[in-house]
Amino acid sequence: MKVLILTNLFPSPWLPHRAPFNRQQFTRLAALHEVEVIAGVGFRDWLRGRRGEPALEGIKVDYVVSWYLPVLLRRLHPAFWLASLLLQRGLRLRTSSYDCILASWAHPDGVGAAWVSRWLGIPLVVKVHGNDINVAAADPARGRQVSKAFGQCRRVVAVSRALAAKCRALGAERVDVIYNGVDTSLFAPSPADGRGQERDPRAPVILFVGNLLASKGCFDLLEAMPMLLERHPGARLVFAGSGSDRPRLGRRAASLAIASSVSFAGTIEHAGLAPLMRAASVVCLPSHSEGVPNVLLEAMACGTPVVATSVGGIPEVVPPHAGILVEPRQPAALADALGETIARRWDRDAIAAHGAGFRWSTNVEQLSATLLAAVVEHASARATGRRA
């Protein structure tokens, strides 16, 4: 098949570390089909200039500058995205004879892609990740737009059962649950770990990987640290990532008098995360909402236990033998879970085996089957005169 992917979630020279899960999935899909990615780059990122060249061998990628009104009138963002796409790449879209469209992220990407799908007369599949449904679609105006786009879809791909249920509530008729995968050539226990060997509980390292935002629970984690340090004075918290709340996090660590126990590693290359995860005592992700974050799958594949919040699809992928789940926005409970995780003796081989069970090969086979089903259903509908 010739597959067009429309998304803002893809690495670019302006955001080279963006969405490594989509990079991994789409490059593997390109080994099975002719895949072209048109990635939207927000105009503010574009104006800041290029920051690096992502490694994107084996896949055709083009970029469109996405113009929109920041913050205000979010319900108009799909129209801005569509206008940006058509003005910059409209002729190519019309003449390229794609078999189907895969839109990754429901709003604005999926909503705009629904219009492109109707214009080109080809089937649409929308892949949803988490906050595009948990947050964006929770807004009444944007939720109606997503619901209408789902009515245009042949299939919706959700990364968890919890997310799939929300998509069905929004009117999606056919939802396929496809969990993301793990690159086990990178994320695996190192031979030096040794079977059953534990990290030194006197100097435990708590690792956070992701965007430094309040919605990711970063401040909850900071608030938990003084309580944890009472029990484990040698504990150290490492934030790996970047985000708009980085300055505030630094100030809050100072005000809590824990700055010496907190470090900010900045954005780390994807391959460079594996050694950090292997060295950590625990990987913590206390998000307020999620789909299924790859950071947890990758940490478990390294044999590292996790502490996370019981939101979205996280309970579906973190069994009791691999970590501890807590309610969001509960720093005291988070501190207790971190302390228990540090003190407990974990079977790291069993954790690694569980994490390695999330295979990209399985993921891409399932995604390919979903896309093919959408094309077949669309052709059948056109042949019988039903909704095309």
CATH for 31: 3.40.50.2000
Residue range 75-98: average pLDDT? 96
Is 186 inside any structural domain? no
pLDDT in the model for residue 385: 74
pLDDT in the model for residue 236: 97
Are 170 and 196 in a shared domain? no
pLDDT of 270 > 70? The answer is yes
Are 170 and 269 in a shared domain? no
As a whole number, the mean pLDDT across the chain is: 94
The band of 194, judged by pLDDT with boundaries at 50, 70 and 90, is very low
pLDDT in the model for residue 5: 98
Are 257 and 317 in a shared domain? yes
Residue range 153-169: average pLDDT? 97
Are 72 and 99 in a shared domain? yes
Sheet holding 205-209, edge to edge: 262-266, 236-240, 205-209, 282-285, 306-309, 323-326
Residue range 60-66: average pLDDT? 97
pLDDT of 388 > 60? The answer is no
Residue range 41-65: average pLDDT? 94
C-alpha distances in angstroms, 123 versus 37, 150, 155, 220, 344?
A: 16, 12, 9, 43, 50
CA-to-CA distance for 57 and 379, rounded, in angstroms?
32
CB within 8 A of 382, min separation 6: which ones? 388
The band of 122, judged by pLDDT with boundaries at 50, 70 and 90, is very high
Among the residue ranges 74-83, 185-194, 293-302, 327-336, the one predicted with the least confidence is: 185-194
pLDDT digits (tens, 9 = 90+) for 292-339: 999 999 999 999 999 999 999 999 999 999 999 999 999 999 999 999
C-alpha distances in angstroms, 101 versus 116, 123, 374?
A: 9, 6, 10
pLDDT in the model for residue 195: 40
Residue range 175-196: average pLDDT? 83
Contact predicate 354/300, CB 8 Å: yes
Are 137 and 235 in a shared domain? no
CA-to-CA distance for 246 and 243, rounded, in angstroms?
6
Of 200, 218, 172, 204, nearest to 339 by C-alpha is: 204
Are 208 and 274 in a shared domain? yes
Residue range 142-154: average pLDDT? 96
Are 160 and 301 in a shared domain? no
Are 35 and 161 in a shared domain? yes
pLDDT in the model for residue 196: 39
Are 154 and 210 in a shared domain? no
CB within 8 A of 379, min separation 6: which ones? none
Is 284 inside any structural domain? yes
Residue range 282-294: average pLDDT? 96
Of 297, 338, 337, nearest to 319 by C-alpha is: 297
pLDDT of 267 > 90? The answer is yes
**Domain encompassing residue 63:** 2-181+360-384
The band of 69, judged by pLDDT with boundaries at 50, 70 and 90, is confident
pLDDT in the model for residue 191: 67
Structurally, the chain folds into a number of domains equal to: 2
Are 218 and 236 in a shared domain? yes
